[in-house]
């Protein structure tokens, strides 16, 4: 480029810059066009708003403001007048009742016609006549029984004029209360208060046991859910493990190589490659799904874990409360039984036998009535019933139920349940009698026979109490050999093992030593001893325990 050309270009640049700067200054110096909206308002073009209430039109004329026809402020049908040409401006307060008939004027608008003369309406205290009648019936029944319950005292009517008017026979909505049923024989007498306390405390014990069961089931359900989520999370973690995914892909690749090596055409190679890619895609999809499942299951398990400890504490608290309530119920029942026995003893003229108390307050086994009867050759009615004597059962039922057939059936079922519970507990404790002349049982002592039977029971082969096996589960020779080993005996000492037929009838001559078990566990046949001995089998015998003061002397009576 020559010097003249360079000078020409530089001059052009300078002139261009100067011209552009001048143009910008000119544009900035021009004024901006303003955006304006001009409005002209003529006088009275907008209606003037006057002060008024929401019920009136604020933009209507003064003469047009009037109450709506037929509305609550329309007083043109009343006797009160506000003067000609004037309008009532205050809010009306209606004090009288208007009739439902409407009068229609010429325009078609209806208004209520003036009603009859206003009458005062009495206002009562709001007492329910039905509830008042029920309260009066309960108080009369309590007065006939010679006492007044706490509920009657708390719910007694105040005796006001309104209540008296509500409970009057002329009240249309007060139906006559049904007559109370015949009083319970146990509701009166010296043991009535003890029976009431026993019923209340045992009812609380039943509710507490139910609540404890619900709390325990809730805790177990939450624990099962937590375990399921944890198991699912572990399975998903194993499926999403990168090493497992790597091994699966390596196996797929090895199969592709084997297929490619054995392919005879390009189509076979393409088919093997296509199968390999599809398998790799499936492995990746399974890994992604396993990862999502892992996260989801861990979140669910963490959410349950936050409440699991609280549920465990609640279950323990409910269980402790139920055990406490059951202990209180047992104490109340023992008090009731002692009261009833004392009452019966006073009626017949003798004092019932009570186990003597030693220095520690516990009854001695030598003073137990059943133990004394067993040593002296006595035969209490409970022993006869445990042996299956129906005459003894009939005597107890007749003494409890009298001539009432329904009560006989009820008490017979209750006493039979008690006998069955004692027999079942004796079998579970291994209190059995074995024949001494039996080829198998006769080779051992009584204690060894009972240990062998207990070992068979631990293996699932249990005595049914009738000479057979529970659920027809008969042990084999190997099972019997294991039982001997568990009992501490040498199976090699047995020279002749029972055959298959003899194994079926192995318990044929075995009897339940229920009397011996009863003497050892509940020698005085008190309520506390029996409940402790039977454990959970005592839960279904509430009716027997509630009347144990009457039942115990009958069971201890000797023939």
pLDDT tens digits for range 53-103 = 555 555 555 445 566 666 666 665 554 444 554 455 555 555 444 444 444
Q: Please report the pLDDT score of residue 186 as a whole number.
A: 52
* 182-196, 362-376, 515-529, range with the lowest pLDDT: 362-376
Calculate the average pLDDT of the chain.
75
Sequential DSSP letters for 188-208: SSTTHHHHHHHHHHHHHHHHH
Q: Please report the pLDDT score of residue 155 as a whole number.
A: 38
- Tell me how far apart the alpha carbons of residues 96 and 106 are, in angstroms, rounded to a whole number: 26
Task: Give SS3 for 95.
Answer: coil
97 or 239, which is more confident: 239
- Tell me how far apart the alpha carbons of residues 287 and 238 are, in angstroms, rounded to a whole number: 10
Q: Please report the pLDDT score of residue 146 as a whole number.
A: 45
Buried b (16+ CB within 10 A) or exposed e, 425-446: bbbebbbbbbeeebebbeebee
pLDDT band at 217 (very low <50, low <70, confident <90, very high): very high
Q: Please report the pLDDT score of residue 160 as a whole number.
A: 38
CA distances from 558 to 291, 351, 374, 380 (A): 77, 16, 11, 4
Q: Please report the pLDDT score of residue 182 as a whole number.
A: 40
* 119-123, 232-236, 277-281, 554-558, range with the lowest pLDDT: 119-123
DSSP single-letter state for residue 380: B
Helices 266-348 + 548-556 axis angle, to 10? 80
pLDDT band at 527 (very low <50, low <70, confident <90, very high): confident
Mean pLDDT of 424-429: 90
Helices 192-239 + 266-348 axis angle, to 10? 170
Q: Please report the pLDDT score of residue 278 as a whole number.
A: 92
Q: Is the pLDDT of residue 50 over 70?
A: no
Mean pLDDT of 191-212: 88
Mean pLDDT of 446-451: 90
Q: Please report the pLDDT score of residue 21 as a whole number.
A: 87
Q: What is the pLDDT of residues 139-189, one digit of tens each?
A: 665 555 443 333 333 333 334 333 433 333 333 333 333 333 343 445 567
């Amino acid at each position: 480029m020559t010097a003249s050309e360079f000078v020409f270009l530089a001059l052009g640049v300078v002139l261009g810059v100067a011209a552009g700067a001048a143009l910008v200054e000119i544009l900035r110096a021009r004024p901006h066009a303003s955006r304006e909206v001009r409005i002209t308002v003529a006088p009275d073009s907008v209606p003037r708003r006057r002060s008024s209430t929401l019920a009136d039109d604020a933009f209507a004329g003064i003469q047009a403001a009037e109450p709506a026809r037929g509305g609550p402020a329309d007083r043109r049908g009343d006797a009160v007048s506000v003067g000609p040409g004037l309008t009532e401006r205050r809010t009306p307060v209606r004090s009288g009742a208007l009739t439902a008939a409407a009068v229609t004027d010429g325009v078609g608008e209806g208004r209520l016609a003036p009603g009859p003369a206003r009458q005062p309406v009495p206002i009562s205290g709001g007492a329910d006549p039905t509830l008042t009648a029920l309260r009066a019936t309960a108080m009369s029944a309590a007065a006939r029984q010679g006492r007044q319950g706490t509920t009657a005292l708390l719910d007694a009517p105040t005796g006001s004029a309104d209540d008296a008017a509500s409970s009057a026979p002329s009240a249309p909505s007060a139906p006559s209360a049904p007559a109370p049923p015949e009083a319970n024989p146990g509701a009166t007498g010296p043991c009535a208060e003890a029976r009431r306390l026993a019923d209340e405390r045992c009812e609380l014990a039943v509710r507490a046991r139910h609540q404890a069961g619900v709390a325990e089931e809730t805790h177990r359900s939450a624990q099962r859910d937590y375990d399921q989520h944890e198991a699912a999370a572990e399975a998903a973690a194993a499926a999403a493990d990168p090493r497992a995914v790597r091994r699966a892909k390596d196996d797929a690749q090895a199969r592709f190589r084997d297929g490619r090596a054995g392919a005879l055409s390009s189509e076979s190679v393409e088919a093997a490659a296509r199968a390999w890619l599809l398998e790799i895609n499936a492995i990746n999809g399974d890994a992604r799904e396993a990862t999502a499942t892992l996260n989801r299951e861990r979140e669910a398990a963490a959410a349950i874990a936050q409440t699991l400890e609280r549920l465990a504490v609640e279950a323990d608290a409910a269980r402790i409360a139920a055990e406490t309530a059951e202990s209180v119920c047992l104490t109340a029942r023992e008090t009731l039984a002692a009261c009833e026995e004392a009452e019966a003893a006073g009626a017949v003229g003798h004092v019932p036998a009570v186990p003597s108390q030693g220095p520690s307050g516990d009854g001695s086994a030598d003073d137990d009535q059943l133990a004394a009867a067993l040593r002296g050759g006595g035969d209490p009615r409970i022993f006869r019933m445990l042996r299956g004597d129906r005459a003894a059962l009939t005597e107890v039922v007749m003494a409890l139920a009298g001539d009432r057939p329904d009560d006989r059936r009820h008490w017979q079922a209750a006493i039979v349940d008690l006998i069955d519970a004692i027999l079942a507990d004796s079998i579970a404790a291994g209190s059995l009698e074995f024949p001494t002349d039996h080829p198998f049982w006769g080779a051992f002592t009584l204690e060894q026979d009972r240990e062998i039977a207990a070992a068979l029971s631990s293996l699932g082969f249990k005595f049914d109490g009738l000479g057979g096996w529970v659920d027809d589960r008969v042990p084999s020779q190997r099972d019997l050999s294991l039982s001997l080993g568990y009992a501490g005996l040498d199976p090699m000492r047995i020279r002749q093992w029972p055959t298959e037929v003899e194994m079926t009838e192995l318990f044929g001559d075995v009897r339940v030593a229920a009397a011996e078990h009863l003497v050892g566990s509940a020698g005085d046949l008190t309520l506390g001893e029996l409940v402790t001995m039977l454990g959970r089998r005592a839960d279904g015998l509430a009716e027997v325990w509630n009347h144990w003061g009457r039942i115990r002397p009958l069971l201890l009576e000797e023939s």
